[in-house]
Amino acid sequence: MYSKIIKDIKNKYGAKLAILGHHYQSDEIIQHTDLKGDSLELARQIGNLDAEYIVFCGVHFMAESAAILRKENQKIFIPDKSAGCVMANMAPADLVEKIIEKISRQTGKKVIPLAYVNTPAAVKAVCGKYDGSVCTSANAVTMMKWALEKGDSVLFLPDKNLAMNTADKLGLDETERYEMDIRNCGDKIDMNSASKARLIMWPGLCPIHQRFKIKDIDHFRTKFPEAKIAVHPECPPELVKKSDADGSTSFLIKYVEQAPDGATIVIGTETNLVDRLAAKYKNKTILPLGQSFCSNMAKITEKNLAELLQNIETFNEEDVDDNIRIPARKALERMLEACS
């Protein structure tokens, strides 16, 4: 029933309406999308879309990023605004700003903030204000390099796993990294360590990717010695080191696509994506490293998508105040320029 409502409204609006979906969305949503992608691809596409109404099926920071990058005549919507990314909420903007100020003042160093795209607009605005930028899992290496060249040190937030996995790829020694203790408004930060570090890390993580364990990898290595294991870089570094490949959701899709027929591939990421790959590539064996659902991604359903579309002329659109939107856009544009 909801499927028919969605299809009819899509037909009625035609090119005026675009539905975008992240790869972690369920199949019932993905079937209605005009465009699907990882965080970087979806952010990049906003400026190229002619549609006036853009419905974002994903978590809130994704719709918010679209609202920052949208054209004047475009309206951005998300079916359920409460679909927040747990990790994005681990670094509140006011605390991020306080800590940048504190470290800069006490160490005399130029600290460049680099926010994972999984952050609220207000955090991206802080990055814009302090000459920093944003990255996604697809361009973290390029952006960390960019940030290291711009200042004395990089404050990477909120994902410490992505920070460490990226630092490993860049060959940044462990002695050059420091994971902050952010308690007591940053009073517990060891300024001596912060001063020596080239990479200062916020202690956030994604619980969905943290759930995978070394013993899961060991299990598959024993049971399917010929299998390849590919994981998302939000997984802990000790796990990434034991896998054969790691990358963004789009990378994982390509990895499976390009594997030869008959290959066995174990994937460590959100279950919706792994199940979809397993259903699509019947000539390969695609196995989940473990079951791990993002309950926030799951808040987007055919029901609330249909309800939004039925009321799109009056539905509360995603908007970001100019005082946040302008510096946040600057941070995102620096990323899009550096990765063009």
Dig out the tokens for 276 from the structure: 């979809």
| Residues in CB range of 157: below 8 A, 6 or more apart | 91, 96, 113, 114, 115, 116, 119, 123, 201, 202, 204
CA 114 to centroid of chain Cα atoms:
13
Q: Please report how close the Cβ of residue 168 comes to ligand SF4 at its closest, in angstroms.
A: 19
Considering beta carbons, is residue 85 or 194 the nearer one to ligand 13P? 85
Report if residue 87 touches ligand SF4, rule: CB under 6 A: yes
Sheet holding 153-157, edge to edge: 133-135, 111-116, 153-157, 199-201, 177-179
Residue closer to ligand 13P (CB basis): 75 or 211: 211
With H, G, I as helix, E, B as strand and everything else as coil, classify residue 33.
Answer: coil
**Cα–Cα distance, 337 to 272 (Å, whole number):** 31
Closest distance to ligand SF4 from the beta carbon of 20 (Å)? 15
Least separation in angstroms between residue 197's CB and ligand 13P is 26
86 binds, among ligand 13P, ligand SF4, none (CB under 5 to 8 A by kind): ligand SF4
Name the nearest CA neighbour of 10 among 301, 309, 245, 243.
Answer: 309
CB of 269 to ligand SF4, least distance (A): 8
For ligand SF4, the closer of residues 53 and 61 by Cβ is 61
Whole-number minimum distance, CB 20 to ligand 13P, in Å?
12
According to CB under 6 A, which one of 26, 104, 118, 272 is a site residue for ligand SF4?
A: 118
Residues 258-297 that bind ligand SF4 (CB under 6 A): 270, 294, 296-297
Residue showing tokens 């063009």: 340
Nearest residue to 96 via CA among 204, 18, 193: 204
CB of 250 to ligand 13P, least distance (A): 7
Q: Which is nearer to ligand 13P, 137 or 153 (CB)?
A: 137
Contact of residue 296 among ligand SF4, ligand 13P, none (CB under 5-8 Å per partner type): ligand SF4
Do residues 133 and 139 lie in contact, with contact meaning Cβ atoms separated by under 8 Å? Answer: no
Based on the shown chain and the rule CB under 6 A, indicate whether residue 206 belongs to the binding site for ligand SF4.
yes
Instruction: Tell me which stretch binds ligand SF4 (CB under 6 A): 8-16, 85-93, 150-158, 164-172.
Output: 85-93
Residues near 39 by beta carbon (within 8 Å), at least 6 away in sequence: 22, 62, 65, 117, 118, 136, 137, 138, 248
Question: Cβ of residue 300: shortest distance to ligand 13P, in angstroms?
Answer: 14
Binding site for ligand 13P (CB under 6 A): 23, 38-39, 118, 136-137, 206, 232, 234, 248-249
Q: Which whole-number Å values give the CA distances from 335 to 69, 115, 318, in the listed order?
A: 12, 10, 22
Subset of 43-82 contacting ligand SF4 (CB under 6 A): 59
For residue 154, the partner it binds in ligand SF4, ligand 13P, none, with Cβ less than 5 to 8 A by kind, is: none
Tell which one of 208, 253, 274, 277 touches ligand SF4 (CB under 6 A): 208
Cα(60)–Cα(294) distance, integer angstroms? 13
Let me know: does 53 contact 59? Beta carbons within 8 Å: no
Binding residues for ligand SF4, per CB under 6 A?
59, 85-87, 118, 206, 208, 234, 270, 294, 296-297
